């Protein structure tokens, strides 16, 4: 293509994509790989001068780079779950394929530019998936979606949310393990382990990944699977963004018929019975088709609610779920529905324009009595400390406070172990009960108060569960807070933190994904 035609096309595209909208910066093309960006305002000049990475990316692939003031920049920089995640990147880079990601990784190194990577944007930790004064790489346009010929494997790009995946698979009568709420992103969930409704049947969602397409620090596009780069394959199952950027996940499919599922709410007078039901299910779940997410929500009075799930299009009220369904309900949506319908139903709890915090912890138990003791300790400490939070910020600003439990049952861990090891390193002979504190509020001036309150809760719960002999250092990444990043991988079982460190040094000797991409659950910040 001639330079003049290219320039015309470039300017047309800039106009179409809203690059340099407002006081447009002037782009001069001397050749395809030599673009000079001339800022038109002093603010743009400062921005562009400061960020050589943005300039380098613009020079290499100008149509993929978006600056403050453009519609695309504005759109992509709002695509986050929580207000706590919104920062001010110097530019947004939006690649469309693995090669473009690889080139960008090289350019960002040459220009020594810090960057962040965003998939579905649901990790609600400031700086985990966004960045001030750096490049925000968003994966929204890497949209691979194809079934293998025998339909046993789905290849999916990192652009997708789980609800879209379930909807696209539905006509084929298939499902995959993924998020229990439709708006959660594919990449972050799979890289953190992944708790799905099918855990008791199939283990963690990452256990179903048969191959990762990954961009390494040298910019190369590689596969990681059981036979090729097997150490990297292991590390990616729970090791998050420490090793490279995933541009495709190949995951096992299974028949996805309708399921029996719903939200079952219980009034305050039955909360004792509800906590007993959590302990009972955690210890005694026998039917791999069942799943639960029990929670108690603070209110006046408190309310208990459990998401119940049974992978059957013909059977409801299975025996495994009787500990919950035997308690009278104040409302219930239990019915047969598709996975997409159900993940859309649970998604109503995802409310935009709030500040949000999850903070996690785990107990490891060997008897019903131990489980109940742990569940009660967690419940009592959390709810006893709520008045302290209300004394520090207006109660009206808090839109939700709740505690959730995630029983990782014996069925689950055995199913997981049968698929081969993952980075979490949990012991299949044990039973773990993870829990998550959840707080949502308005007014970012209260962020610090909420973080400190939740961190103190966590410390108090840890002390109490240690004393009871049921503490476990494992934290589920998807439910963890920013203050839990130091020492995070020390909580993985079997000394896997050290293994992950060695694997990261092998594949990323220059520490690109630790230093230039510093956000999220990084090994470098995990010495603790
Ligand atoms: C309302 C809500 C419900 C949830 N429900 C569940 C659930 O049912 N089950 C469960 O397991 N978890 C759940 N989670 C937790 C969720 O799995 C994590 O927050 C996960 O990180 C979200 O993935 P994402 O792609 O949206 O995240 P992002 O915020 O986009 O990414 C998370 C991290 O991964 C990195 N990353 C993203 N894409 C890539 C990539 N392609 N290559 C390398 N690094 C990448 C990011 O830089 C970031 O550090 C829930 C979270 C929320 C907020």
Domain residue limits, the chain: 3-138, 145-256, 259-493
Closest-CA residue to 251 (of 140, 167, 156, 327): 156
pLDDT per residue as tens digits for the range 115-136 = 999 999 999 999 999 999 999 9
Residue whose CA is at the smallest distance from ligand 1 atom 53: 122
Separation CA 375–CA 363 (nearest Å) = 9
CATH class as words, domain 259-493: alpha beta
For residue 134 and ligand 1, the question of a CB distance below 6 A is answered with: no
Burial class (CB in 10 A: 0-12, 13-18, 19+), 359: buried
Separation CA 215–CA 340 (nearest Å) = 31
Contacts of 434 (CB under 8 A, 6+ apart): 360, 361, 362, 405, 406, 408, 474, 475, 476, 479
For residue 163 and ligand 1, the question of a CB distance below 6 A is answered with: no
> What pLDDT sits at residue 525?
75
Separation CA 364–CA 413 (nearest Å) = 13
- Which atom of ligand 1 lies closest to the CA of 161? 26
Separation CA 507–CA 173 (nearest Å) = 38
Residue whose CA is at the smallest distance from ligand 1 atom 21: 188
For residue 245 and ligand 1, the question of a CB distance below 6 A is answered with: yes
For residue 195 and ligand 1, the question of a CB distance below 6 A is answered with: yes
For residue 158 and ligand 1, the question of a CB distance below 6 A is answered with: yes
pTM of the model: 0.92
CA 351 to centroid of ligand 1, rounded, Å: 16
For residue 203 and ligand 1, the question of a CB distance below 6 A is answered with: no
Residue whose CA is at the smallest distance from ligand 1 atom 23: 188
CA 3 to centroid of ligand 1, rounded, Å: 42
Beta carbons within 10 angstroms of residue 286's beta carbon: 12
Closest-CA residue to 320 (of 255, 426, 257, 409): 409
For residue 350 and ligand 1, the question of a CB distance below 6 A is answered with: yes
CA 175 to centroid of ligand 1, rounded, Å: 19
CA 268 to centroid of ligand 1, rounded, Å: 32
Element (H, E) at 440: strand 431-441
Residue spans of the chain under pLDDT 50:
1-38, 527-528
Percent of the chain, pLDDT > 90? Answer: 88
Separation CA 57–CA 71 (nearest Å) = 18
CA 189 to centroid of ligand 1, rounded, Å: 4
Backbone angles phi, psi at 144, to 5 degrees: -50, 135
Best CATH choice for the domain 145-256 from the list 3.40.630.10, 3.40.50.2300, 3.30.465.10, 3.30.70.120: 3.30.465.10
Distance of CA 270 to the CA centre of its chain: 32
> What pLDDT sits at residue 349?
85
Residue whose CA is at the smallest distance from ligand 1 atom 36: 188
Mutation choice for ligand 1 from 81, 98, 129, 520, CB with most ligand atoms inside 8 A? 129
- Which atom of ligand 1 lies closest to the CA of 293? 8
- Which atom of ligand 1 lies closest to the CA of 479? 15
CATH architecture of 3-138: 2-Layer Sandwich (3.30)
Residue with tokens 């959590």: 278
- Which atom of ligand 1 lies closest to the CA of 191? 34
């Amino acid at each position: 293509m001639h330079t003049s035609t290219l320039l015309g096309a470039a300017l047309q595209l800039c106009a179409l994509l809203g690059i340099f909208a407002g006081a447009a910066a002037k782009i001069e093309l001397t050749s395809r790989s030599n673009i000079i960006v001339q800022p038109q305002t002093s603010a743009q000049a400062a921005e562009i001068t400061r960020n050589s990475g943005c300039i380098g990316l613009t020079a290499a692939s100008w149509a993929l780079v978006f600056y403050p003031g453009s519609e695309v920049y504005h759109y992509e920089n709002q695509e986050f779950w929580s207000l706590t995640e919104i920062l001010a990147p110097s530019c947004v880079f939006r690649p469309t394929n693995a090669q473009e990601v690889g080139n960008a990784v090289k350019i960002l190194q040459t220009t020594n530019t810090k960057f962040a990577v965003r998939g579905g944007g649901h990790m609600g930790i400031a700086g985990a998936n966004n960045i001030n004064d750096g490049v925000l790489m968003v994966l929204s346009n890497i949209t691979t979606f194809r079934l293998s010929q025998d339909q046993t494997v789905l290849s999916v790009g990192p652009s997708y949310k789980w609800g879209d995946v379930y909807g696209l698979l539905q006509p084929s009568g298939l499902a995959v393990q993924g998020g229990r709420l439709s708006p959660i992103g594919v990449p972050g969930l799979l890289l953190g382990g992944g708790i799905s409704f099918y855990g008791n049947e199939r283990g963690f969602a990452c256990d179903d990944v048969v191959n990762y397409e990954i961009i390494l620090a040298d910019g190369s596009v590689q596969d990681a699977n059981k036979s090729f780069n097997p150490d990297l394959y292991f590390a990616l199952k729970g090791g998050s963004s420490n090793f490279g950027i995933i541009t495709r996940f190949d995951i096992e499919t299974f028949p996805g018929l309708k399921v029996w599922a719903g939200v079952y709410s219980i009034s305050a007078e039955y909360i004792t019975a509800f906590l007993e039901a959590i302990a009972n299910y955690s210890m005694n779940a026998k039917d791999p088709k069942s799943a639960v997410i029990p929670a108690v929500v603070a209110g006046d009075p408190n309310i208990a609610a459990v998401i119940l799930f049974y992978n059957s299009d013909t059977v409801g009220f299975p025996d495994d779920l009787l500990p919950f369904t035997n308690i009278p309900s104040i409302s219930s949506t239990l019915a047969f529905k598709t996975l997409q319908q159900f993940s859309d139903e649970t998604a109503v709890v995802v409310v935009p324009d709030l500040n949000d915090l999850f903070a996690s912890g785990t107990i490891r138990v060997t008897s019903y009595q131990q489980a109940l003791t742990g569940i009660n300790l967690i419940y009592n400490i959390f709810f006893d400390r709520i008045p302290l939070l209300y004394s520090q910020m207006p109660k009206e600003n808090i839109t939700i406070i709740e505690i959730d439990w995630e029983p990782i049952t014996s069925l689950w861990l055995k199913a997981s172990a049968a698929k081969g090891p993952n980075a979490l390193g949990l012991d299949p002979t044990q039973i773990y009960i993870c829990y998550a504190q959840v707080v949502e509020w308005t007014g970012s001036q209260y962020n610090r108060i909420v973080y400190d309150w939740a961190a103190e809760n966590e410390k108090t719960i840890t002390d109490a569960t240690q004393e009871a002999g049921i503490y476990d250092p494992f934290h589920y990444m998807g439910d963890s807070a920013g203050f839990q990043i130091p020492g995070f991988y020390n909580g993985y079982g079997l000394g896997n933190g050290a293994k992950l460190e060695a694997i990261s040094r092998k594949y990323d000797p220059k520490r690109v994904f630790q230093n230039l991409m510093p956000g999220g659950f990084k090994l470098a910040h995990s010495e603790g």
